[in-house]
Amino acid sequence: MGPLFEVKAVDREFYQRRLQSFLPTRIIDVHTHVWLDEFKSKQKGEEPVRAVTWPQRVALDNSIEDLTETHHLMFPGKKVIPLIFGHALSLADDIDRGNEYVRECARKNRVPALIFADPRWSEVDFEEGIISGNFLGAKVYLTRSDPRILEKDIQIYDFLPHHQLQVLDRHGWIVMLHIPRQGRLRDPLNLAQMVEIEKGYPHVKVIIAHVGRAYCPEDIGKAFEVLGETQRMLFDISANTCVETFERLIRGVGPRRILFGSDFPVLRMRTRRICEGGRYVNLVPKGLYGDVSGDPHLREVAGKDADQLTFFMYEAIEAFRRAATNTDLNKNDIGAVFFGNAAEVLCEAGMPESFLNGGGGE
């Protein structure tokens, strides 16, 4: 049986020339999804589509074995420790089996994990679920909001309710937050609620996924002027290739509040992302991901353009490398972003320090 996916000469050359010496020997990946296809609902059309669908073209599922192999193939010579959580985006997905699988994967592999939370859970159920599963907090997602709410109207509290924030605050746990709304990071209501959470729940370790989905410069707005008043809010750089976003992030909050994340398995995609009119477009090899004609976020390329495409993961790290160079980050800063910051946060949330000696790689 061959490897999970092909690593081509173009990938090896990109990694060796641009990334290998930039990355520290030990890496913590704070944003990885682990699930089996059997946990996903096969029912269609029963609830509104409130998230992009192109990531589903990359992988049917992502077992812990697949995740380990992905890190091994993507980061030769490095030791990678993942923070894992499930992928129950649909209300019809089996969230309980997904969380049980993640719990078992974390226990057997001695890696940290978050519960994938449902806003309908009571305070007691939410707290007991985290404690009984030895989770370090929760991953929350907008698609688990009440299906009667239109995507454009979803607020953070619709899928991260106050009673669950109270639990997270009481224990000093982590919440991995993918913010909603079409305005992304620049949305005034998002920003107001992010600041409100920072002030009202000072012990929650809030990680804003994907730098608030600011995938293009137009998504930033005055976000970092507003977020300048925050002191603890963290940002993961997963699934983002916008150099300007990273530069604004570094200048706005400093390198000690930035965490590396991959969003695997999505970033196994072979692509280069561009922005057009404030909208991101992923350029992908013709035919690799099926019929993409109806997806505004995907565009096929062929010939030499396709042959030169490497992994989404490498493009994302390269974008951060360029931003780090432009903002004069030093080796210690890079080590903090890719390992030290996450190690501190995870240990404060309850991860045994012995886990830091784990990880895959060569």
Model confidence band, residue 359 (pLDDT cutoffs 50, 70, 90): low
Query: Is residue 358's pLDDT more than 90?
Result: no
Q: Which residues contact 195 (CB under 8 A, 6 or more apart)?
A: 226, 227, 229, 230
SS3 content of the chain, % helix, strand, coil (to 5): 45, 15, 40
Can you tell me the mean pLDDT for 30-56?
A: 86
* Residue-range domain boundaries for the chain: 25-269+312-349, 270-310
Distance CA 208, CA 259 (A): 10
Output the six-digit token pair for 258: 């930035």
Tell me, what's the pLDDT at 229? 87
Distance CA 98, CA 62 (A): 11
Query: Is residue 132's pLDDT more than 50?
Result: yes
Tell me, what's the pLDDT at 357? 86
User: Do the Cβ atoms of 347 and 103 come closer than 8 Å?
Assistant: no
Tell me, what's the pLDDT at 56? 92
- Tell how far CA 5 is from the center of its chain: 21
Model confidence band, residue 361 (pLDDT cutoffs 50, 70, 90): very low
Distance CA 51, CA 47 (A): 12
Query: Is residue 16's pLDDT more than 80?
Result: yes
Residue with tokens 């192109």: 54
Question: Length of the chain in residues, anyone?
Answer: 362
Can you tell me the mean pLDDT for 208-228?
A: 97
Partners of 282 in the beta sheet?
Answer: 273, 298
Averaged pLDDT score across all residues of the chain: 96
Query: Is residue 362's pLDDT more than 70?
Result: no
| pLDDT, tens only, 186-211 | 999 999 999 999 999 999 999 999 99
Can you tell me the mean pLDDT for 78-104?
A: 97
| pLDDT, tens only, 229-269 | 899 999 999 999 999 999 999 999 999 999 999 999 999 99
Tell me, what's the pLDDT at 13? 98
Tell me, what's the pLDDT at 300? 98
Query: Is residue 45's pLDDT more than 60?
Result: no
Q: Which residues of 78-109 are buried (b: 16+ CB within 10 A; e: fewer)?
A: bbbbbbbbbbbbbbebbbeebbebbbebbeeb
Model confidence band, residue 50 (pLDDT cutoffs 50, 70, 90): confident
Model confidence band, residue 288 (pLDDT cutoffs 50, 70, 90): very high
CATH number for the 25-269+312-349 domain, one of 2.60.120.10, 3.40.50.720, 3.20.20.140, 1.20.1370.20?
3.20.20.140
Distance CA 177, CA 156 (A): 9
| pLDDT, tens only, 140-189 | 999 999 999 999 999 999 999 999 999 999 999 999 999 999 999 999 99
